[in-house]
Amino acid sequence: MTDFTTLTNPCSGVAFSAGITGVGGYLPEGVVTNQMLASRLDTDHDWITSRTGILERRIADESQSTSDLAVEAGSRALRSAANPEVQALVLATTTPDFRCPATAPYVAARMGLGKIPAFDVSAVCSGFLYATSVAVAYVNSGHFDSVLVIAAEKFSTLIDPNDRNTACLFGDGAGSVVISKVPVGTGGQILAHAIHSDGELESLIKVKGGGSRYPLSPHETVNRPRSDYFLGMQGREVFAAATASMSASVSDIISTAGWELDDLDWLIAHQANRRILNLVCKSLDIPPEKACVHLDEVGNTAGASIPLLLAAKSRQFKPGDKLVLTSFGAGATWGALAMTWPALGTIEAP
């Protein structure tokens, strides 16, 4: 079988592989605490913290759209990279600025990236891992030397502010990485990545209205229930599926990377729920302190949560540390990625 994971420079004989060479994150300024939610919904701080671990979340204001968050995060990732040149942009988002066209070309134009290929990827909370796997394939095939991946979500636009089942869980934000050719064996190298889906689980997390099945039209909108235009979620079923899928993905990717579980320095899991993180650690016998946690401050930022976590916790990581990234999201989609931490320039706090 052809090995697509490394490329060798015919002149120098040096083998190259895709690696992370820049990281950035951006959070909007508006903070919504549990107490603020409890003042207008039938919920309370103790219920939210005990069930989820979330204390507060950031919500973008009306003037900010997904592209605004994406430009901030992407610019920060490029500033942290030694070489800010990229030949493509892949944007993971569930909340594009418009239903048509994609948001990525506009983000590329605003960032002054030139007329590079730029497109959106939609895999909800697994969007970052899906977009990254596209970028890794581009780099490992030799098609591009460097690709900018951004995951940006104004997820609050999908949430009914009056639905206590979901309003407590989600927040807005954006994260970004630069994926470039790095010499094999150096920090940042992506050693293994895997993504999966199961459309049989489509109904677990869904916004029914506004797509081609139930188009957004004056007629449809008045005849369909209001709840169809916001995110609906079967919380307990999602909880069980997320725990099982992320545990299996982490275990599989560790063996694909040729590591043992004990080798793992940091688990970078999608930030949905503290109890899900604890259960994944317990099922794999990973010490819980190895699981990085940011959801207390930002809630579930969907596709943005993994790169935001990398940016927020970057000071904890040493070059060469072994990281596994994993996610589960609507679709259902899930996956994992094994990498070593790179030596980077200053990563700005999100």
Which residues contact ligand ACO (rule: CB under 6 A)?
A: 43, 47-48, 51-52, 124-125, 164-165, 168, 205, 233, 235-236, 238-239, 242, 272-273, 300, 302, 329-330
Query: Is-catalytic flag, 193?
Result: no
Q: Can you read off the two tokens belonging to residue 209?
A: 């209205």
Give min distance, CB of 151 to ligand ACO, in A.
12
Give min distance, CB of 240 to ligand ACO, in A.
9
Query: Is-catalytic flag, 196?
Result: no
DSSP for 174-214 reads: EEEEEEEEEETTSTTBEEEEEEEE-GGGGGGEE--TTSSSS
From the list 140, 168, 270, 294, the catalytic residue is 270
Kindly tell me which of 133 and 273 has the beta carbon lying closer to ligand ACO.
Answer: 273
Q: Which residues of 97-120 are buried (b: 16+ CB within 10 A; e: fewer)?
A: beeeebbbbbbbeebebeebebbb
3 state DSSP class of 46: helix
* CB atoms closer than 10 angstroms to residue 211: 10
Kindly tell me which of 163 and 265 has the beta carbon lying closer to ligand ACO.
Answer: 163
Q: DSSP label at 135? A: H
What is the sign of the dihedral through the CA atoms of 24, 30, 36 and 41?
negative
Distance, in Å, from the CA atom of 64 to the CA atom of 72, rounded to the nearest integer, reads 11
From the list 34, 140, 273, 300, the catalytic residue is 300
From the list 125, 168, 281, 292, the catalytic residue is 125
Give min distance, CB of 292 to ligand ACO, in A.
17
Give min distance, CB of 155 to ligand ACO, in A.
8
Query: Is-catalytic flag, 125?
Result: yes
Kindly tell me which of 132 and 300 has the beta carbon lying closer to ligand ACO.
Answer: 300
* CB atoms closer than 10 angstroms to residue 93: 31
Kindly tell me which of 175 and 342 has the beta carbon lying closer to ligand ACO.
Answer: 175
Give min distance, CB of 115 to ligand ACO, in A.
33
Give min distance, CB of 189 to ligand ACO, in A.
28
Pairing of strands 88-92, 146-153: parallel
- 320, 340 contact by CB (below 8 A): yes
Q: Can you read off the two tokens belonging to residue 17?
A: 């592989």
Burial class (CB in 10 A: 0-12, 13-18, 19+), 73: buried
Kindly tell me which of 168 and 339 has the beta carbon lying closer to ligand ACO.
Answer: 168
Give min distance, CB of 282 to ligand ACO, in A.
16
Q: Can you read off the two tokens belonging to residue 292?
A: 């990085």
Kindly tell me which of 177 and 205 has the beta carbon lying closer to ligand ACO.
Answer: 205
Kindly tell me which of 193 and 274 has the beta carbon lying closer to ligand ACO.
Answer: 274
The beta strand positions in 184-298, using DSSP E, are 190-197, 205-206, 232-233, 266-269
DSSP H or E segment with residue 253:
helix 235-256
Catalytic residues: 125, 270, 300
